[in-house]
Every structure is written in C-alpha cells, then in structure tokens.
C-alpha cells in the first residue's frame, strides 16, 4: 500500500463505504425490505450523506448514474463480482479493468479475493493486474478479502479473518474489508496483522440498531478505520437515520446509544 492512496475515499483517515453491488452478488431479493433501493438513484442520493466516504458499485451502475453525481460522490468501482446464480467453487469474474475505472472517474477500485478457493491462484493474478493498474492511475485499492471454498473450514474464525487481513497487506491493498471476527480482541489481532493496510468491517444484516452500532464501535476501538456497509443501511426503513448515527459513531466516536438519540 502507498501512503495516502486511500485519501480520496476517507475522511480524517476513516472510511464509511456504502456498498451497492448486491444486485449482482445477491440479486433483487436484497431490495425487498426497502423496494425504493432497487433504483440506484436512491443509493447515489444516500451516498451524498456526509457520513459516506465512497459508494461501491459495479461498472454498469457507474456508467448509468455516476456522471450526474460525480461532484458529490466518491466512486469505488468494483472490478470483479459474481451472481448468486453461480453454484461452483467461489470465484468472481473480472468485469472491468482499472484503466476503464479511471476513465469512469473512479477514486478507488474494489476487488474480491476468495482466499482458499480452488480459484485463488487465478484470482490473485487478476488482483495483481487490478492493483498495478490502480497504481498507474493514482486510485486507491480496496480488497474484499473473503476466504471461502474448499480450503477454508470456518470463514469467520479469528484465524481466518486475521489471515484475510494479512492477504490485503501482502498483495498491496490500501484498505482490506473483512467480516467481523466476533470479538474486539480478534479484531485487534486482525488489525495488527494488516499492518499499515487499513481494516474496514464488512456488514451483514443486523436489525437491532444499537447492537449493529455497538459492533462498529467495538471494531473502531480495536483499530479498524471504519466499515463497508450495504444492507445494514439500505434495507432499513430510514437509511438516513442510521447514517446519521454511523457518522457520530465512526467520525466523532460517540457512544452508540447516544448516537441514536441525536
Ligand atoms: P453487506 O454490508 O450488505 O453485507 O454488503 C457487504 C458485501 O461485501 C457486498 O459488497 C457484497 O455484495 C456482499 O457483501 C457479498 O456478501 P456475501 O458474498 O457474503 O454474500
């Protein structure tokens, strides 16, 4: 990683990446809890919230919607991604080059690596191309580091998650996005293994606002620099309200209960 490479998608060194690649990764079912979110425009509007430091989308969504929001939203372009229709060993086809991401105005690129999959070797080689392409165009690199597949017994164990974070450092990511390893102690070890690569916590679906914010606060106390979140924001009835609270927790380090009362 290079110093400051992720500045364009950070605020005071912290990040709140709004992830919106679910239409590809999971399909329309993810929009059911809040049907308005099937319209990418709704997410671009949410991404103008002060709390959001970048919006992560696939190429097609960026082509269609980003030009209108280029002045108000930082673009994190996912370069690979796969649909939920694929039933084979975890893999993620490359859908976009770093060069085209730069042409679209991306501030950073995102890339999923499934360490432990039978496709890890090819994916690592594809990541190399993406990472070096991003360097040529001064874009930050965010790795979605999700060990899974035949080589992985437990994809959320502390050892697996700290290894996932370490892959981010070893392969040259500026920011590595990992699942929460279950405890603040395990998160602290994950952050230690990532060295100068920043660690952001990945989302999931938690319906209890305070419990969700408490996990975020614990991760930050343990040294994570923020989160990359999708469903925990856009599936809520009032996504703006949780973004207000996240802004207080992530950037002002306000206690979660207090943040919800603001
Ligand atoms: P959520 O916050 O909604 O969990 O999204 C984070 C994310 O990494 C998305 O970018 C991606 O679409 C999804 O999770 C992939 O999740 P999985 O592969 O675990 O189903």
> Would you say residue 152 lies in a domain?
yes
Q: In this predicted structure, what is the pLDDT of residue 63? A: 98
Q: In this predicted structure, what is the pLDDT of residue 262? A: 82
CB of 204 within 8 A of CB of 212?
no
Q: Per the structure, how many domains does the chain have?
A: 1
Q: In this predicted structure, what is the pLDDT of residue 4? A: 81
> Would you say residue 1 lies in a domain?
no
- Does residue 22 have its Cβ closer than 6 Å to ligand 1? yes
Atom of ligand 1 nearest to the CA of 81: 12
CATH number assigned to the domain comprising residue 255: 3.20.20.70
Considering the entire predicted model, what is its pTM? Answer: 0.97
**Candidates 59, 177, 179, 198; catalytic one:** 177
- Does residue 90 have its Cβ closer than 6 Å to ligand 1? no
Dihedral through CA 183, CA 233, CA 61, CA 92, nearest 10?
20
Known active-site residue 177: yes
Q: In this predicted structure, what is the pLDDT of residue 2? A: 78
> Would you say residue 65 lies in a domain?
yes
Q: In this predicted structure, what is the pLDDT of residue 151? A: 87
- Does residue 144 have its Cβ closer than 6 Å to ligand 1? yes
- Does residue 147 have its Cβ closer than 6 Å to ligand 1? no
Tokens representing 66?
């980003």
> Would you say residue 150 lies in a domain?
yes
Q: How far apart are CA 53 and CA 198, in angstroms?
A: 14
- Ligand 1: which of 15, 25, 113 to mutate, judged by most atoms within 8 Å of the beta carbon? 25
> Would you say residue 175 lies in a domain?
yes
> Would you say residue 223 lies in a domain?
yes
- Ligand 1: which of 202, 204, 232, 246 to mutate, judged by most atoms within 8 Å of the beta carbon? 202
> Would you say residue 2 lies in a domain?
no
Q: How far apart are CA 175 and CA 6, in angstroms?
A: 7
pLDDT along the chain (262 residues), means of 10: 86 97 98 98 98 98 98 98 95 98 98 97 98 97 97 93 98 97 95 97 91 95 97 97 97 96 88
Look up the domain containing 16 and give its range: 7-261
Atom of ligand 1 nearest to the CA of 234: 3
Q: How far apart are CA 79 and CA 168, in angstroms?
A: 16
For the chain, counts of helices (H) and of strands (E):
11, 8
Q: In this predicted structure, what is the pLDDT of residue 1? A: 73
Q: In this predicted structure, what is the pLDDT of residue 46? A: 98
> Would you say residue 210 lies in a domain?
yes
Q: Residues 98, 104, 108, CA angle at the centre, nearest 5°?
A: 50
């Amino acid at each position: 990683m290079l110093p400051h490479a992720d500045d364009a998608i950070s605020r005071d060194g912290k990040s709140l990446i709004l992830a919106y690649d679910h239409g590809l990764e999971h399909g329309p079912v993810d929009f059911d809890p809040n049907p308005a979110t099937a319209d990418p425009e709704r997410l671009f509007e949410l991404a103008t919230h002060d709390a959001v430091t970048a919006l992560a989308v696939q190429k097609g969504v960026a082509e269609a919607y980003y030009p209108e929001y280029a002045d108000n939203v930082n673009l994190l372009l996912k370069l690979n991604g796969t649909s939920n229709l694929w039933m084979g060993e975890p893999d993620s086809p490359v859908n976009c080059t770093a060069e085209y991401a730069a042409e679209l105005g991306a501030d950073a690129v995102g890339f999923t690596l499934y360490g432990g999959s039978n496709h890890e070797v090819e994916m690592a080689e594809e990541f190399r191309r993406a990472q070096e392409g991003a360097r040529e165009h001064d874009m930050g690199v965010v790795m979605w580091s999700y060990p899974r597949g035949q080589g992985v017994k437990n994809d959320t164990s502390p050892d697996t998650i700290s290894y996932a974070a370490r892959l981010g450092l070893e392969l040259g990511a500026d920011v590595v996005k990992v699942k929460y390893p279950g405890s603040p102690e395990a998160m602290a070890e994950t952050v230690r293994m990532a060295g100068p690569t920043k660690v952001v916590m990945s989302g999931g679906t938690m319906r209890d606002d305070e419990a969700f914010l408490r996990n975020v606060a614990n991760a930050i106390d343990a040294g994570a620099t923020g989160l990359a979140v999708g469903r925990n924001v856009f599936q809520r009835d009032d996504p703006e309200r949780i973004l207000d609270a996240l802004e207080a927790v992530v950037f002002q380090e306000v206690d979660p209960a207090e943040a919800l009362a603001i």
